């Protein structure tokens, strides 16, 4: 068996899981189970949000180590589900390494389950449901729905123009959300600017990341938990900064 290729497959699986926003324990356990299924019981895996290190000893006693840096990651539940399903399939069926490698490399290239219009509708409905939660009425709900649609367009299609930096992307999206909310309220599609704005901004709040960070701290993965907490705090700061910039620009007109 080509143990180098097997380790590369496991590390690539871990990178895909990490890119989808998976918990650290899930990343490490999935890689260990995959290596164990192919008769490498001595695997040692260490992962933090931006790096994965995996080491195994071959049956001949030769140590092999791989380290991969993960440039960026977010929350992609659809990719996470595909990674989980594929990992279970590989552990149960044990296909040849060439086939397993092709399946793992194709994870990020699979067609999306939901069409872009469905994603945009989801953003709009999610923002609309927050408005009654914050005490808004029918007009506030309608304004939040349209604002959520605008933020969804920004998130879905603006990455090419804004870039992949999470902080600056969040600042720009928050500014757009604030400006759009103010515009909708001024034309009558909403009564409370605060309600419409906060309902739309809730789409940008890193709730999953913060929840995973708290879970990892309580589970003992302190380094990973603190790293994710810092990311969540930066995103929250970006939301506040973007909102202030958007409202500041609005005051000029």
pLDDT in tens, the chain (253 residues): 788 888 999 999 999 998 888 888 889 999 999 998 888 777 889 988 888 999 988 777 788 899 988 876 777 888 888 899 999 999 988 889 899 889 988 887 776 777 788 888 989 999 999 999 988 888 989 999 999 998 888 888 777 666 667 788 888 889 988 888 888 888 888 788 889 999 999 998 888 888 888 888 888 888 888 888 888 899 999 999 998 888 888 777 6
At 169 the pLDDT is 84
At 190 the pLDDT is 78
At 162 the pLDDT is 67
Query: In this structure, what DSSP letter does residue 203 have?
Result: G
- At residue 98, φ and ψ (nearest 5 deg) are -65, -45
Residues 6+ apart with CB under 8 A from 181: 143, 144, 147, 190, 193, 196, 197, 200
At 41 the pLDDT is 78
Sheet (strand 51-57) strand order: 44-48, 51-57, 63-69
Measure the CA–CA gap between 103 and 121, rounded to whole angstroms: 31
At 12 the pLDDT is 92
Q: Of how many residues is the chain composed? A: 253
């Amino acid at each position: 068996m080509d143990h180098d290729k097997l380790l590369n497959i496991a590390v690539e699986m871990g990178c895909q899981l990490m890119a989808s926003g998976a918990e650290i324990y899930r990343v490490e356990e999935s890689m260990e189970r995959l290596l164990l299924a192919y008769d490498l019981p001595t695997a040692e895996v260490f992962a933090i949000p931006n790096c994965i290190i995996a080491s195994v000893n071959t049956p001949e006693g030769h140590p092999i180590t791989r380290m991969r840096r993960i440039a960026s990651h977010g929350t992609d539940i659809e990719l996470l589900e595909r990674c989980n399903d594929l990992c279970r399939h590989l552990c149960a069926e044990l296909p040849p390494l060439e086939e397993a490698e092709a399946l793992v490399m194709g994870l990020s290239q699979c067609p999306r389950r939901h069409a872009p219009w469905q994603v945009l509708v989801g953003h709009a409905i999610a923002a609309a449901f927050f408005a009654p939660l914050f005490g808004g009425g029918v007009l506030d709900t309608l304004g939040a729905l349209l604002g959520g649609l605008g933020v969804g367009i920004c998130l879905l299609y603006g990455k090419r123009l804004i870039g992949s930096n999470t902080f600056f992307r969040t600042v720009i999206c928050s500014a757009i959300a604030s400006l759009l909310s103010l515009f909708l309220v001024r034309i009558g599609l909403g009564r409370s600017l605060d309600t419409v704005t906060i309902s739309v901004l809730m789409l940008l709040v890193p709730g999953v990341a913060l929840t995973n960070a708290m879970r990892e701290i309580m589970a003992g993965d302190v380094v990973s938990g603190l790293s994710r907490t810092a990311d969540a705090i930066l995103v929250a700061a970006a939301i506040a900064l973007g909102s202030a910039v958007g409202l500041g620009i609005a005051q000029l007109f």
